[in-house]
Amino acid sequence: MLKGQDLTGKRALITGSTSGIGLAIARAMHAEGAKVILNGFGDADEIAKLTDEMDAVHYDANLLDVAAIEGMMGAAGPVDILVNNAGMQYVSPVEDFPTDKWDAIIALNLTAPFHTSRLAIPAMKEAGWGRIINTASAHSLTASPFKSAYNASKHGIAGFTKTIALELAQTGVTANCISPGYVWTPLIEGQIPDTMEARGLTRDEVINDVLLAKQPTKKFVQPSEIGALAVFLCREEAGNVTGANWSIDGGWTAE
Ligand code: NAD
């Protein structure tokens, strides 16, 4: 059985890794010896602390901008591991859904992973080894009201992942989704006010009756648990795991 540090020598680019789930994945991969490349926004001092902590480089490329993605992927050079994690959410009835929010959610959650993947795959194929991990969501498998763009983008990324897994099946490159249920991160915290307004609920009602209502375990998923799963998908033992959509949702999608 392979033990820790077996990502030594691997270069891992994790989008949206200045916060939440992406940061936890970066920390987990760094702890296993990977050279991590961070991306995302945030306070410059906080990001400097993260690059020091993980001896990492950071690109602030805005993934809504194809030229910025191409610039980041070119500057970063070949990567062994690509984690498409950056994502955003907006909650609104479909008839009122702001069209610019729809476009941005599809661009960040679905189109950006297409661009990073198409740019990373040639070097992975050349090396005969690679791992593409897409942070999808329980909303790649099921839906909730008022999240039309998010649900569409996450169902889309699940289909995209299966497609590239098939295309890459004989190359040593795997592609998988991780689909969390509710994880306590800034993204979840940020959608509470919108859900309160859309459904006319208090903050506690949103947490207990909407968010955790879906999770039979009645616990938020921890970002570190997702980091551990991402590391597993990079291990040699996971070489035959491809095209899969791994739920880590406290049993939500089992119902
Ligand atoms: P978060 O808001 O904590 O982090 C989002 C990250 O993406 C940050 O680093 C941010 O700077 C970066 N980002 C945002 N817009 C960007 C842009 N235009 N260009 C580059 N980077 C950008 O979010 P999180 O909760 O950690 O979510 C990460 C992923 O996990 C998302 O894809 C999300 O849909 C998915 N997810 C989250 C949950 C949850 O409960 N939090 C559940 C299921 C799936």
1 confidence band (pLDDT: 50, 70, 90): very low
Mutation test of ligand 1: which of 13, 14, 17, 19 has the most ligand atoms closer than 8 Å to its C-beta? 19
Alpha carbon distance 201, 199 (integer Å): 6
Mutation test of ligand 1: which of 90, 116, 185 has the most ligand atoms closer than 8 Å to its C-beta? 185
Closest listed residue to residue 131, CA positions, set 143, 141, 123 = 123
For the segment 109-164, what is each residue's pLDDT rounded down to a tens digit?
999 999 999 999 999 999 999 999 999 999 999 999 999 999 999 999 999 999 99
Closest listed residue to residue 6, CA positions, set 229, 236, 171, 238 = 236
Establish whether residue 180 lines the binding site of ligand 1, counting it when its CB lies within 6 angstroms of any ligand atom.
Answer: yes
**Whether residue 59 lies in the annotated active site:** no
Q: What residue type is assigned to position 100 of the chain? A: D
What pLDDT is recorded for position 210? Answer: 84
pLDDT mean over 29-46: 98
Burial of 125 (0-12, 13-18, 19+ CB in 10 A): middle
What pLDDT is recorded for position 207? Answer: 87
Q: In what order do the strands lie in the sheet with 130-135?
A: 57-59, 35-39, 11-14, 81-84, 130-135, 173-180, 245-248
pTM for the model stands at 0.94
Q: What's the whole-number average pLDDT of the chain?
A: 95
For the segment 168-178, what is each residue's pLDDT rounded down to a tens digit?
999 999 999 99
- What are 169's two structure tokens? 């099946």
Establish whether residue 198 lines the binding site of ligand 1, counting it when its CB lies within 6 angstroms of any ligand atom.
Answer: no
5 confidence band (pLDDT: 50, 70, 90): low
Establish whether residue 177 lines the binding site of ligand 1, counting it when its CB lies within 6 angstroms of any ligand atom.
Answer: no
74 confidence band (pLDDT: 50, 70, 90): very high
Worst-scoring range by mean pLDDT, 39-43, 62-66, 207-211, 237-241? 207-211
Q: What residue type is assigned to position 225 of the chain? A: E
